[in-house]
Amino acid sequence: MRLIVVEKCEDKVFVFVNKLLVQLSSECKPVSEDYINIIINSPNSQLLLLIDTEDNYIGMISVGEYNTPSGAKAWIEDVVIDNLYRGRGLGRTMLEMAIKYFRAKGIQNVSLTTNPKRIAANGLYKSLGFKQYETNVYKLKIHND
């Protein structure tokens, strides 16, 4: 298994990302190749794909990386393993690889959110050492009128 940073939006990447977005949430809409290129070309975001030894795409994780006065940080989003590969511990493998990636970059704080109803995901994050904080997460949807 390898976790790669996507550096080019090839057709195979484009199709796979959109396949996984549908599996992630029914609210996710397909993204364009141009949008994937925005992610890839941003200095503060990375699209990481889990690939097996035969170069089959298995999972996806996207991260935002940023620096603040209190240290280098990362935010994990869009963690998903393809339905064909679930139940094999590959989510854990992908997250362990992502944590190793962050450690190599000197990032000391990694955050994520998940729905409390996602029992397996919550258990996985806790087993990897993520601590649940008593905090309020706020979200503002800005509409361009």
Query: What is the percentage of the chain residues whose pLDDT exceeds 70?
Result: 99
Residues 38-56 pLDDT 10s: 999 999 999 999 999 998 9
| Average pLDDT along the chain | 92
Whole-model pTM?
0.86
**Domains delineated in the chain:** 2-127 (3.40.630.30)
Question: What pLDDT does 96 receive?
Answer: 94
Mean pLDDT, to the nearest integer, of 124-128? 94
Query: Any idea what DSSP says for residue 88?
Result: S
Where does residue 106 fall: left (phi above 0), alpha (psi -120 to 50 degrees), or beta otherwise?
Answer: left
Edge-to-edge strands, sheet with 109-111: 2-5, 45-51, 57-68, 71-81, 109-111
Average pLDDT over residues 17-42: 92
